[in-house]
Amino acid sequence: MGVNSDQFGRTDRSAGAKSGASAWWEEVRATFVLAWPLVFTQLAVIAINTTDVLMMGWLGPQELAAGTLAYAFYTLFFFFGLGLLTAVAPICAQALGARQYRIVRRTVRQGFWVAILVAMPFIAVIYHARPVFLFFGQTEINSELAEVYLRAAVWGLLPALWLIVLRCFVSALSRPRSILIVTLLGVLANALGNYALMFGNFGFPALGLLGAGITTSIVNFVMFAVMLTFVSTDRRIRRFAIIVRFWRPDWSIFGSILKVGWPIGVSVVSETGMFGVAAFMMGLISTAAVAGHAVALQCAAVAFMVPLGVSHAATIRVGIGAGRRDAAAVWRAGWSSYGLSTVFCLASALLFWLVPLTLVSLFLDPDLAENAEPIALAVSFLGIAALFQIVDGLQIVGAGALRGLKDTTKPMVIAAVGYWVIGFGSGYYLGFVQGLGGMGIWIGLAIGLTFVAVALLWRFAILGSGLSYPEKPALAVA
């Protein structure tokens, strides 16, 4: 069984034949068509986490603080795996652009292998998280409750990583609506599962944070199973036969995924880790600071899903242009993605400025006296989040465009320096040395994001304007 049709590259070749304003409008249209299901998929993904945060808030500030710490720890590992496996997208996109369809199926299979490789040690570490929380100065009760959640949620890590592989696969094929539908089903299943297992509805016991963790694992398994069924039965996609001879290794592609992907994983962890460590730093201030940080970060994270979805589209569009060895298409794809992201980020920044209390009240009841301090802190944090909306969008789209060129190592260095040296360093200095508390920590986050955004934009401008290709076809640009 094989793929011998050129249907997946036909639209892109016709677009490449255009020039001038027509080519730019065609690229904007193609990027938008690819991006909007990816954007809504990311919004659906964050809706799952937002549902968890909302319902943890209903349990009380203590459970919300513990759940926030647990999620911050879990995401350090999940997002490294996500970043690593994101390499499947540019490899598949460049292979499709070059009409090398066998590489696509082999890449997906080896992506599953890589997911297994990284999940096993991660599960062991996450399962025993309590000593880590205590080591970093978290309270005994927060550490205990966080581990309760993690010991149930960790079993969904591997299917969640496998789902990332499938998402990259269908996105490269310009079929992202399927993953959107599956993720929307996951949102519904997660809400119902939390309602049943956290609060004891539908005849189930009230398990609190344990119920949230159990629901997380079940939903990840179900979403992966449904998505695998789709790609195995869809008329256009099943011809890739991604699970036939699953056991057969392809060490060259396995190595390529690791080579391209590990810098992406480090870059993603550098950013999410900065926000995760910020949660730990808030824990050193007060439980109210952790809760306020959680709410503000959740609002910012929801807005961030739009440029994140656009960045995935940028990776695919730039990768296809690179696979076709079309430097002009690469340039248009990158800057079209920048433009789409910036328009939305301006709108989200305005929203954070105008109605911060309304947004925060969705998570914490303003009529409860115990929520007064977390709400005030969350509103002040959102004011800073409004300032860094633009740069946050620019940095993630820049990273996505560069990944389409398989340029991942230098962006990793930029991210590590920007987030951990500049962002974390300035946040610690302003928050604790200068005594600004949580506000100082959030100002540090904004400084780190700004540095990375400017550096990545500059790098794409240099690479995109200087691309040239030898006559002999090759899969990689860089």
More confident residue, 151 or 138: 151
Proportion of the chain in helix, strand, coil states, percent, rounded to 5? 80, 0, 20
Is the pLDDT at 41 greater than 90? The verdict is no
The domain limits of the chain are: 30-465
* Tokens matching residue 324: 């076709």
Rounded CA gap, 344 and 353, in Å? Answer: 15
Contacts of 25 (CB under 8 A, 6+ apart): none
Kindly state the DSSP code that residue 154 receives in the 8-state scheme. G
Indicate the pTM of the whole model: 0.79
- Answer yes or no: is pLDDT of 476 > 70: no
Express each pLDDT in 70-106 by its tens digit.
887 888 899 899 999 999 999 998 888 888 888 888 9
CA distances from 400 to 87, 151, 333, 444, 461 (A): 11, 33, 11, 24, 14
pLDDT of residue 259: 93
pLDDT over 90 percentage in the chain: 48
DSSP state of 432: I
Tell me the C-alpha distance between 426 and 435, whole Å: 12
Question: Does residue 477 register a pLDDT over 80?
Answer: no
Looking up tokens 């409008």, which residue turns up? 25
Handedness of CA 249, 252, 253, 258 (dihedral sign): positive
Q: Give the pLDDT confidence score for residue 26 in this predicted structure.
A: 87
pLDDT for res 118: 94
Tell me the two tokens of residue 429: 């200095």
Tell me the chain's radius of gyration from C-alpha atoms.
22
Q: Rounded to whole angstroms, how far apart are CA atoms 316 and 306?
A: 16
The Cβ of residue 348 has, within 10 Å, a number of other Cβ atoms equal to: 22
Is the predicted pLDDT of residue 56 greater than 90, yes or no?
Answer: no
Q: Which residues contact 291 (CB under 8 A, 6 or more apart)?
A: 57, 61, 64, 65, 68, 364, 374, 377, 378
Given a contact cutoff of 8 angstroms between Cβ atoms, the answer to whether 418 and 431 are in contact is: no
**Tens-place pLDDT, residues 267-316:** 888 887 787 788 778 888 888 888 888 888 888 888 888 898 899 999 99
Task: Determine the average pLDDT of the residues in 204-230.
Answer: 94
Output the pLDDT for position 474: 40
What counts of helices (H) and strands (E) characterise the chain?
19, 0
CB count in 10 Å sphere of residue 189? 16
Select from 289, 310, 156 the least CA-distant residue to 218.
Answer: 156
At 63-77, the pLDDT tens digits run 888 888 888 788 889
CA distance 341 to 304: 10
Q: At residue 12, does pLDDT exceed 80?
A: no
Q: Which two tokens stand for residue 258?
A: 């690791």
